[in-house]
Structure 1
Amino acid sequence: MLGYVYGCHGQAKRGAAYLLIAAQSSPNDIGVLRTLSHLLTLDGEADKALDTISRLETLDDTRNPALYLLKSRALLAAGRQEEARQAFDRFLKLRAGPDE
């Protein structure tokens, strides 16, 4: 995925542009949306990242711990520390599994 490669090499804005195109072609592709939200956060577009994360939540991705890690980072970048902490706590709980 070209968008991911650009993001890995410090070009989050360019990577996000490619991923936005991919998201238009495949609006239900969870992998594209996750990577897009990550790159948007890196690029300082926390509100857009949170919109993308909301889309992931509607796709029933709420059992995946990575969603809450992404959400916590985007919320922190948006200056919403308490919500970020809550999302991170949820990440830790899901990562630990049901027996923890």
Structure 2
Amino acid sequence: MDQAQRDLLLSLAYMYASCDREPRALPLLLLVAAENPDDCDCLRLLAHVYTAMKRGELALVVLDRIRRLRPTEEPGDALLRARALHRTGRFKEAQTAFSVFAQSNVRALAL
């Protein structure tokens, strides 16, 4: 799969996810992830789609994969993790993850 094909599939998946059509986005994301399992942009969108589809446990697996690939977490990753943890009923951990997200945004605004 070349870069243009990847970009097209991710764009379509994003459009589907934005229109609450996550089941249509899922196979597109899985195809891109199968071709390039280290594609963090694809993995982030995949984690979002799994969370929206009430599959928080799968979203956490994907987020753990991102964490292994890039040890320095982006602020949005903490928010994705908080949503996935909340979806699985792990409310205290979700609150902690959301606090990490909020703190990183406060620091970013201070700069």
TM-score by length of 2: 0.83
CA contact (8 A) 1:63 1:94 kept: no
Deviation at 1:63, TM superposition (A): 3.2
CA contact (8 A) 1:38 1:70 kept: yes
AA aligned opposite 2:52? L
Matched, 1:59 2:72: no
Query: 2:46 matched to which residue of 1?
Result: 36
* CA RMSD after TM alignment: 1.6
Q: Give 3-state SS (helix, strand or coil) of 1:10's partner.
A: coil
CA contact (8 A) 2:16 2:22 kept: yes
Matched, 1:46 2:56: yes
Matched, 1:89 2:62: no
Residues 53-98 of structure 1 show CA distances to partners (whole Å, capped at 9, x for unaligned) of: 0001001153311000000000001110000000001111122227
Q: Which of these two proteins has the greater Rg computed from alpha carbons?
A: 2
Q: Give 3-state SS (helix, strand or coil) of 1:19's partner.
A: helix
Paired residues in the alignment total 100
Which structure 2 residue ranges, 5 or more long, are not aligned?
Answer: 1-10
Separation in 2 of the partners of 1:45 and 1:9?
A: 18
Which structure 1 residue ranges, 5 or more long, are not aligned?
Answer: none
